[in-house]
């Protein structure tokens, strides 16, 4: 089995793959104050709850956009799973080309999304939307070149900043209100943030399709992918674990390459 880890600024997702199939996935808060032992205990407890033994895990792959957590997870992997993990970066064998001015600056989550997206839906241009702490829009050519994209504030980020900078505005639940015209402060904020995010997304998708081609397919991932997708017709596929899938693909590709070199 392979343990794949997707470290985001808000949440960390763990996925256990068995022969290429996702068996279990878990989500915990990304807390930089945790030690490798604290994270190890959490992971082992989750695995044990579903009957997965430490000895079942033969490798670990990590995608991290939080540098302070990367080293902690590396040490956790070495200590509890007795293996040197693979950390995703642009210098690995990816199966796609990074056509970016600074390839090393591309976030590992964006790389994983592009790799997994092309593996599943390659042959047509792709626009990959990731609704996380930031909302990212990534473009992948039909031939498998990561072209770049755009980064905007995520839903939680926008809501938190609005509440923090406007003294009279409350914290809100990030859900769609009954009507677009809010009749309370809370519903007005929900309308502006949620419908505003949908309209911004649709505008960006149309702009990117004008460059990539109208046949481009749109993939949504991230914590708010399903709720946003329910309010638009522009999203073709919802892939909640796309980053984890990318970690798996990259791990397996590089393991095979390393095995060939040894042989």
The string of pLDDT tens digits covering residues 137-156 is 999 999 999 999 999 999 98
256 burial (CB, 10 Å; 0-12 / 13-18 / 19+) is exposed
Where do you find CATH 3.30.420.40 in the chain? 2-87, 97-245
Residue 30 is predicted with a pLDDT of 84
Give the mean pLDDT of 190-200.
95
In the chain, pLDDT over 90 holds for what percent of residues?
Answer: 80
pLDDT in tens, 53-92: 999 999 999 999 999 999 999 999 999 999 999 999 999 9
Give the mean pLDDT of 20-30.
90
- Torsion angle, alpha carbons of 128, 131, 135, 137, to 10: 10
Residue 59 phi/psi, 5-degree rounding, is -160, 165
Quick check: 184 pLDDT over 50? yes
CATH fold of 2-87 reads: Nucleotidyltransferase; domain 5 (3.30.420)
* Mean pLDDT, all residues of the chain: 92
For residues 193 and 155, is the Cβ–Cβ distance under 8 A?
yes
Across the chain, the runs of DSSP E, i.e. the strands, are 2-7, 11-18, 21-29, 59-64, 86-87, 97-98, 126-131, 134-140, 145-153, 217-222, 237-238
Q: Which residue has the higher pLDDT, 192 or 172?
A: 192
**Range from 35-49, 161-175, 223-237 carrying the lowest mean pLDDT:** 161-175
Question: Residue 168: pLDDT band by 50, 70, 90 thresholds?
Answer: confident
Residue 258 is predicted with a pLDDT of 58
Residue reference for tokens 């638009």:
232
Residue 172 is predicted with a pLDDT of 86
Question: Residue 263: pLDDT band by 50, 70, 90 thresholds?
Answer: very low
Give the mean pLDDT of 9-32.
90
Question: Residue 169: pLDDT band by 50, 70, 90 thresholds?
Answer: confident
Give the mean pLDDT of 156-166.
87
**Range from 25-29, 76-80, 170-174, 254-258 carrying the lowest mean pLDDT:** 254-258
pTM: 0.91
Residue 7 phi/psi, 5-degree rounding, is -100, 110
Give the mean pLDDT of 36-43.
93
3-class SS of residue 196: helix
Of 109, 130, 138, 245, the catalytic one is: 109
Question: Residue 262: pLDDT band by 50, 70, 90 thresholds?
Answer: very low
**Range from 111-115, 117-121, 169-173, 211-215 carrying the lowest mean pLDDT:** 169-173
Residues 6+ positions from 103 with CB-CB distance below 8 Å: 90, 91
Q: Which CATH architecture has domain 97-245?
A: 2-Layer Sandwich (3.30)
3-class SS of residue 168: coil
Give the mean pLDDT of 148-175.
88
Quick check: 166 pLDDT over 90? no
Residue 257 is predicted with a pLDDT of 63
- Catalytic residue flag (residue 101): no
């Amino acid at each position: 089995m392979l343990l794949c880890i997707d470290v985001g600024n808000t949440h960390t997702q763990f996925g256990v793959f068995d022969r290429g199939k996702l068996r279990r996935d878990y989500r915990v808060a990304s807390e930089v104050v945790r030690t490798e032992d604290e994270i190890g205990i959490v992971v082992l407890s989750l695995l044990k709850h579903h009957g997965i033994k430490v000895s079942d895990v033969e490798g670990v792959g990590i995608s991290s956009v939080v540098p302070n957590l990367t080293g902690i997870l590396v040490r956790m992997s070495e200590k509890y799973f007795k293996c040197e993990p693979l950390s995703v970066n642009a210098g690995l064998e990816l199966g796609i080309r990074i056509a970016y001015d600074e390839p090393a600056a591309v976030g590992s989550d964006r790389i994983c999304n592009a790799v997994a997206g092309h593996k599943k839906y390659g042959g047509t241009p792709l626009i990959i939307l990731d609704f996380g702490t930031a909302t990212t829009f990534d473009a992948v050519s039909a031939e498998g070149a990561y072209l770049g994209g755009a980064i905007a504030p995520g839903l939680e980020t926008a809501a938190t900043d609005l509440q923090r900078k406007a003294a009279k505005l409350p914290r809100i639940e990030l859900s769609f209100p009954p009507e677009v015209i809010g009749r309370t402060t809370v519903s007005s904020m929900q309308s502006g943030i949620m419908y505003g995010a949908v309209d911004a997304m649709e505008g960006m998708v149309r702009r990117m399709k004008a460059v990539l081609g109208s046949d481009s397919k749109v993939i949504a991932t991230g914590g708010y992918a399903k709720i946003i997708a329910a309010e638009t017709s522009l999203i073709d596929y919802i892939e909640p674990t796309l980053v984890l899938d990318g970690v798996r693909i990259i791990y397996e590709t590089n393991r095979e390459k390393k095995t060939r070199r040894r042989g």
